[in-house]
Structure 1
Amino acid sequence: MGGDHKRLKPGVLFIFITVCLDMVALGIAIPVLPHLIQGFVGTVSAAGWWSGLFNSLWGLTQFGCSPILGALSDRFGRRPIILLSNLGLALDYLIMAIAPNLWCLLIGRVLNGVTSSSITTAYAYISDISEPDERAQMYGYVGAAFGLGFVLGPTLGGLLGDIDLRLPFWVAGLLSLVNAIYGALVLPESLDKAHRKPFSLKDANPVASILFLWRAKSVMRMALISMVSNFAHHVIPATFVLYASYRLGWGQREVGLAMAYYAVWAIIVQGGLTGIVVRTIGEKATLVVGLLCGLLGFISYGYNTNWHIFLFSIPLMGFWGMTNAALQSLMTTRVKVDEQGLLQGALSSLMSLSGIIAPFVFGYILSVMTRPGVDRVWSGAAFFAAALTLLVALLMALGVKDRAKGEPAPPKAPNIHHDGEPLF
């Protein structure tokens, strides 16, 4: 593993904190961004279309930039990529806070997609410092940091949005700046120089990064499952705020509290239960159970007519969070130490590819189903489409080969020596 564990303890804490603060910043914006868009365009139907476009363009920038940043982290280390990402996010939120029109807001959102690489690199960081048998639990802890961020973020965003729709973006930018400063003080590097590899644009473009997954056939099926599952996830940022407003009459405050309730379950499941479940039934079974819970949760969301249904459906969605930890554990033990950044960049490219298409698809479904003359009961159609998507992922997961207990990770690649100037 990369580096001394005692030396890395502040770094481990920082990774959890940076994931949490990034999710707080993202969560702060979620309850208010669709309403800010609606303020520029007018109707819920129009806002649904534009929200989908915003998120699709965000996915497009992620698709192009994530493999480059993943490869750069394999070349120069995880620390500089994470710190630069946090600084970039601070700038992005500032642009969105002062945006005078829809197009400036869109520019801020696109730049956010370029710079929001810290999560991807954080996964590579965790892989650097953890043993194969620890990874499912470690990724569960990262998932708990996600959950904690979503407890604080949407709740804070809803409360701040009631004061002023722009205020949450100012706070999100400040949090990202504080995160960068804190990281500069405490974050050690996790990737030893002996395990770094030269940067090459040939390997860092999104197509080449996906071909890396094709060559690493042991992870390809799992990567596709992750992509399909992520496709379904995009229904939430693309439609949930507007759907809850249209179907239930909720404002920013109610949406923020609902997301916080979900996040509490995410913390319970990913921070406490994921490691236990994996040790008890194995990673494959955990993956299948998680996908099934997500599928049932989306069906429940689509039928939602009052807040009581959320008391049932949100815990189910919390158990869906086990899926990513199980997938990450299975995949990271099947690639070499010097390929972890490339793996995470390739996975991020697939996630971004789904993020290009999914928000527009779900946003368009919401737009059509909220037009005048369409019965309100059909407004949940986007969630039924997401449930169907997870059914595809569930069927794919049945063919995943489980990791044998104690199965070692692939051996470390030989030290890479590069003569002359860096390729980048």
Structure 2
Amino acid sequence: MSEIDMTADERPRRRAAFGFIFASALMTSISFGLMIPILPNLIRQLTGGDTAAASDWNVVFATTWGLMQFIVGPILGMLSDRVGRRPILLISNFGLAVDFLFMAFAPTLWWLFVGRILNGVTAASFSTGGAYVADITPPEHRAKNFGMLTSAFSMGFLVGPTLGGFLGDINIRLPFLVAAGLTALNWFYGLLILPESLPAERRLARFEWTRANPLGSLRLLQSHPGLLSLAGVGFLFQLAQIVLPQVFVLYTTWRYHWSMSVLGLTFLITGVMGVIVQMFLVGPAVARFGERRLVLIGCVAGALGFAWYGSASAGWAYLMAAPIFAFSGFLMPGVQGLMSQRVPPNQQGQLQGANQSLQGIAGIIGPSIFGLTFAFSVRHNSTLHLPGLAIYLAGGLFVLAFLLAWGFAHPHRAPAPAALSLAIKAPEKSG
């Protein structure tokens, strides 16, 4: 439905609905950000202070979380196509709040591990949030709203770690309680005001496990022209991005001898730049250049930014690349906008679930790829002289993404399914 087809009272409802999705993404990402400085230390506490054992368990926790995203994301995505977005979002938010409480009082490492598994399951509702945005947004404005949604995640991961460190100094389990409170508040807010975005006549006729499992969901990407290649662009982006959390601290402290305060300031500067691009520049850029050019600009910015990061011989030179790399934030909103145009309304949840599965795969393999590459470059630095090898590798992934996008990132409108009414109704109220 276009903006001119909506009645005057439907536009505020859609804005309010998007406001909830934005707030949900923000609160959820703050909740996860709270865990970043705390979870490894809590694991170390539960392993009796053994740092090496804590490091091993931290890898297990991270890999398991990615695995849960890979498995459960498609299931929740298809469920939202069958029963609607609202119940999946509310159940997931409530489950996430309960899970944070579970982890806050976990008496042993194994209890904490079970909590992390449940956390990965409930966090898989991110795919449903993306489907909701596609439901309530005309195709020509989806890249803008996906950019806003991404900026919410970026803002949350700016605020969360700082708040988590402060609260963790008071009590190491306090951030879990705060995270539980934030997600519970978001659940209650949604319970009161969130309308359903997918009317009954636009839903799947039945839930099929053969299509809801991860491999089945990925087959969806082969069923529409260019969709698999666009998903490949998004996967390469997600995989390349993992180099930053995996090696950034080790790389900059080893090469530039940065202190913790400088690291914190750098996180703040680069994070703010990313938020500015995603929140304020994606909309005007897609209106002026279109989604295709948005994706290509993001690929070029990512490749150039990583090449600069890897070759910078001084800390100040490293920071000079931050404004360039920030424009890599154009890539995913453009890709999501193009992908959402290629599937009908009753497959938007499956699409977002498939994307989340790919993100889970990146989360599983990325840490090993970049971590081992960085370790190799450090061990052989006297002969190799490539301390930024892992970052160059990430830049190469952006080059591959550019080549894929050049061939396949074209606008395309999916035909409405035969079972659907030609007149698409506005979101129905629920609850």
TM-score by length of 2: 0.84
Structure 2 match to 1:9: 15
Q: Which residue of 2 aligns with 1:173?
A: 180
The 1:32–1:239 alpha-carbon spacing in structure 2 relative to 1, beyond 3 Å, is: farther
Equivalent position of 2:424 in the other structure = none
TM-superposed CA distance for 1:196, in Å, is 0.7
Q: Does 1:273 align with 2:281?
A: yes
Deviation of 1:223 (Å): 0.6
Of residues 97, 100, 121, the one that matches 2:128 is 121
Match of 1:87 in 2: 94
What is the distance in 1 between the residues matched to 2:259 and 2:387?
14
* C-alpha contact (below 8 Å) 2:70/2:361 kept by paired residues: yes
Q: Does 1:410 align with 2:419?
A: no
Residue identity (%): 40
Say whether 1:189 aligns with 2:235: no
> Can you list the C-alpha shifts for 1:151-196, whole angstroms capped at 9, x where unaligned?
3223323333444444333322221121111111111110001101
- Partner SS state of residue 408, structure 2: coil
* Cα separation, partners in 2 of 1:118 and 1:108, compared to 1, 3 Å: same
Deviations 1:42-96, CA, capped at 9 Å, x for gaps: 558x766654443222111111111100000001111111112112222333344
Partners of 1:237 and 1:111 lie apart in 2 by 23
Unmatched segments (≥5 aa) in structure 2: 422-431
C-alpha root-mean-square deviation of aligned residues, in Å? 3.1
Supply the distance in 2 between the matched residues of 1:78 and 1:415 (Cα, whole angstroms): 18
Asked whether the equivalents of residues 311 and 388 of structure 2 are also in contact (C-alpha less than 8 Å), the reply is yes
1:289 matched residue in structure 2: 297
Contact 1:34/1:241, CA 8 A, preserved across alignment: no
Matches within 5 A, 1:307-386: 307-366=315-374, 380-386=388-394
Alignment-derived partner of residue 62 in structure 1: 69
Change (3 A) 1:268 1:65: same
Q: Partner amino acid for 1:181?
A: F
Matching of residue 133 in structure 1 with residue 154 in structure 2: no
Query: Is 1:109 equivalent to 2:116 in the alignment?
Result: yes
Distance 1:211 1:111, change over 3 A: same
Counterpart in 1 of 2:208?
200
Residue deviations 1:10-46 (CA, integer Å, cap 9, x gap): 22110110111111112222234345556657558x7
> Greater CA deviation, 24-33 or 175-184?
24-33
Whole-angstrom distance in 1 between the partners of 2:310 and 2:172: 27
Structure 1, unmatched stretches of 5+, are 417-424
1:151 pairs with 155, 158, 163, which one? 158
Give the Cα separation in 1 of the matches to 2:252 and 2:58.
Answer: 14
Residues in 2 aligned to 1:300 and 1:104: alpha-carbon distance in whole angstroms: 43
Distance (Å, rounded) in 1 between the aligned partners of 2:185 and 2:143: 29
Residues 201-223 of structure 1, C-alpha deviations (whole Å, 9 max, x = no match): 12111111111111223211001
294-303 or 79-88: bigger deviation: 294-303
Supply the distance in 2 between the matched residues of 1:258 and 1:186 (Cα, whole angstroms). Answer: 38
Question: Residues 80, 169 of structure 1: CA spacing in aligned structure 2 closer, same or farther, 3 A cutoff?
Answer: same
1:176 maps to amino acid:
T
2:220 is the alignment partner of 1:212: yes
CA 1:267–1:84 in 2, change beyond 3 Å: closer, same or farther? same
Q: 1:256 to 1:117 in 2, by over 3 A?
A: farther
State which drifts further: 143-152 or 320-329: 143-152
Amino acid at match of 2:402: L
Q: Is 2:77–2:125's contact at 8 Å kept on the other side of the alignment?
A: no
Distance 1:365 1:96 in 2: 33
- Maintained 8 Å contact 1:274/1:322: yes
Question: After the TM superposition, which of the residue ranges 171-180 and 199-208 deviates more from structure 2?
Answer: 171-180
Q: How big is the shift at 1:231?
A: 1.1
How far is 1:363 from its partner? 3.5
The answer (yes or no) to whether the contact 1:89–1:116 under 8 Å persists in 2 is yes
Say how many residue pairs are matched: 410
Tell whether the 8 Å contact from 1:52 to 1:238 is kept in structure 2 after alignment: no
